[in-house]
Amino acid sequence: MHAFHYRNGRLHCEEADLVQVAETHGTPLYVYSARTVRDHYRRLDQALGDLDHLICYAVKANSNRAILRLLVEQGAGFDIVSGGELYRVIAAGGDPARCTFAGVGKSREEIEYALAEGVFCFNVESEAELDYINRIAAAKGVRAPIALRVNPDVEAGAHKYVSTGRSENKFGIALDRVAAVYEAAARMSGIRIRGVQMHIGSQITDAQPFADAIAKVAPLVRAFRERYAIEFLSIGGGMGIVYESSFESGRRDWWEPSTSGEAPHALTIDEYAAATLPALRALGVRILLEPGRLLVGNAGILLTRVRYLKQAEQKKFVIVDAGMNDLIRPALYQSYHEIVPVIEPAGSNRERVDVVGPVCESGDFFAQDRELTELHEGELAAIMSAGAYGFVMASNYNSRPLPAEVLVDGARVGLVRERQTYADLVRGEHDF
């Protein structure tokens, strides 16, 4: 069970009363549960059992240093996609030698930085990139450790913006090309072949695509293990979590067993392990995983306060102080986030509303035409499961300062990122 629950009529994160947290730190506010992050890491780690594995947390999901630090303490490696993410991992005390560096457009500066810091591996997405990394490393007289990202061309069923394993996506090298590219890599003086990588998409709630993708790349891994002595296969991230949970009934976390009936489906840890472990064990190489959402998604909420209620002709709007600039997922992916009042409702007055932000866009909504417990002016609400791809995708659109972030561990509440000020908004701008 994730760590958000009602106690004495108020929503708590672990032992922290969110009414008090909001009074101290203001809203909109991201609140994260340290216990949940640790718990999720351990559950995944344990489910993998004796499989030789390394969990490389996908930093892009939530890159706050305090979150990274928690995962460093758990022994995690990191999946990074930029020099900035490498910098953050190092700032959090992480080891570059446990970092895989992915992304389709690495710059010279980023490649040089990652080489100097000694990253575990570059995940290479194209022949042009391989060539570029080779030239940079060879000029320095070193070999860059690489894995090629294989595109297994499977249908992962997630939203089209987060599906990456189809041949029409920009990611990875096609299965039928990949042997030739490894052969070319083996001849390059600045390259050391270290592994094979793949990733098929995000928020995948069915084990089958993972199993299909592994089955597709397994023959390659076996061949390359003989030919190039590769050490690992990275199977990427993408494991889906529960978003449509219910405080009254259903399943609230991804690791809980599936319940029949209307309970929302998401991959359970057992389903994932059962579908993938036998094939992975048989490969005889180390397995890397790159979960992002799975570790932090349910561990965070966006706390917001209702500013106004507006009854329009056709609809009722609940206008809150958080906006699409703080959490863009509903606008960008039509994604669902459960919204609950912080003060536990006494009755069961429900109404159909749109929950919207103050930003000047029609896309600025958190829920549309959704039946919710009645919310009143001035009341606090929690937008659930906002720990992944929440703050990291926030912007200053409409010149709204970025929200603060707090981390809760038991009864301890720590401000882990300050709310931006108006002065922050114009910092670095110059008159002309």
Site membership for ligand LLP, residue 236 (CB under 6 A): yes
For residues 205 and 262, what is the distance between their CA atoms, to the nearest angstrom? 15
CB closer to ligand LLP, 92 vs 342: 92
Q: Candidates 4-12, 258-266, 289-297, 298-306: pick the segment binding ligand LLP (CB under 6 A).
A: 289-297
Q: CA torsion 189→199→80→144, rounded to 10°?
A: -10
Catalytic residue among 13, 56, 121, 360: 360
CB closer to ligand LLP, 31 vs 44: 44
The distance of closest approach from Cβ of residue 308 to ligand LLP in the complex, given in angstroms and rounded to an integer, is: 28
Site membership for ligand LLP, residue 372 (CB under 6 A): no
Site for ligand LLP in 7-66 (CB under 6 A): 58, 61
CA distances 65 to 27, 48, 87, 183, 196, Å, are 21, 26, 10, 39, 29
**382 touches 390 (CB < 8 A):** no
Site membership for ligand LLP, residue 148 (CB under 6 A): no
Q: Which helix (H) or strand (E) holds 218?
A: helix 208-228
Number of chain positions touching ligand LLP (CB under 6 A): 22
Site for ligand LLP in 95-134 (CB under 6 A): 102
The distance of closest approach from Cβ of residue 84 to ligand LLP in the complex, given in angstroms and rounded to an integer, is: 16
CB closer to ligand LLP, 105 vs 410: 105
The distance of closest approach from Cβ of residue 40 to ligand LLP in the complex, given in angstroms and rounded to an integer, is: 11
Candidate residues 72, 220, 273, 294; the one interacting with ligand LLP per rule CB under 6 A: 294
Site membership for ligand LLP, residue 199 (CB under 6 A): yes
**144 touches 190 (CB < 8 A):** yes
CB closer to ligand LLP, 366 vs 389: 389
CA nearest neighbour of 241 among 256, 229, 253, 232 = 253
Q: What are 299's two structure tokens?
A: 């561990």
For residues 86 and 74, what is the distance between their CA atoms, to the nearest angstrom? 18
CB closer to ligand LLP, 134 vs 205: 205
What per-residue string of b and e applies to 324-361 under the rule 16 or more CB within 10 Å gives b? bbbbbbbbebebbbbbbbbbebeeeeeeebbbbbbbee
CB closer to ligand LLP, 236 vs 341: 236
Inter-helix orientation angle 83-91/108-117, to 10°:
30
Q: Using CB under 6 A as the criterion, what x/- string covers residues 214-233 for binding ligand LLP?
A: --------------------
Burial class (CB in 10 A: 0-12, 13-18, 19+), 137: buried
Site membership for ligand LLP, residue 264 (CB under 6 A): no
Q: What are the backbone angles phi and psi of residue 25, rounded to the nearest 5°?
A: -110, -5
Site membership for ligand LLP, residue 293 (CB under 6 A): yes
Site membership for ligand LLP, residue 336 (CB under 6 A): no
CA nearest neighbour of 119 among 88, 98, 135 = 98
CA nearest neighbour of 198 among 160, 161, 232 = 232
Active site residue 360: yes
Site membership for ligand LLP, residue 276 (CB under 6 A): no
Site membership for ligand LLP, residue 87 (CB under 6 A): no
Site membership for ligand LLP, residue 266 (CB under 6 A): no
The distance of closest approach from Cβ of residue 63 to ligand LLP in the complex, given in angstroms and rounded to an integer, is: 12
Q: What are 30's two structure tokens?
A: 């991201």
Q: What are 54's two structure tokens?
A: 């390394």
CB closer to ligand LLP, 253 vs 290: 290
Burial class (CB in 10 A: 0-12, 13-18, 19+), 91: exposed
Site membership for ligand LLP, residue 165 (CB under 6 A): no
For residues 366 and 384, what is the distance between their CA atoms, to the nearest angstrom? 11
Q: Using CB under 6 A as the criterion, what x/- string covers residues 312-331 for binding ligand LLP?
A: -----------------x--
CB closer to ligand LLP, 77 vs 341: 77
- Tell me 167's DSSP state: T
The distance of closest approach from Cβ of residue 178 to ligand LLP in the complex, given in angstroms and rounded to an integer, is: 16
Site membership for ligand LLP, residue 337 (CB under 6 A): no
Candidate residues 28, 237, 330, 403; the one interacting with ligand LLP per rule CB under 6 A: 237
Inter-helix orientation angle 208-228/269-283, to 10°:
20
Catalytically active residues, by annotation: 360
Footprint of ligand LLP on this chain (CB under 6 A)?
A: 58, 61, 79, 102, 162, 164, 199, 202-203, 236-239, 290-294, 329, 333, 388-389
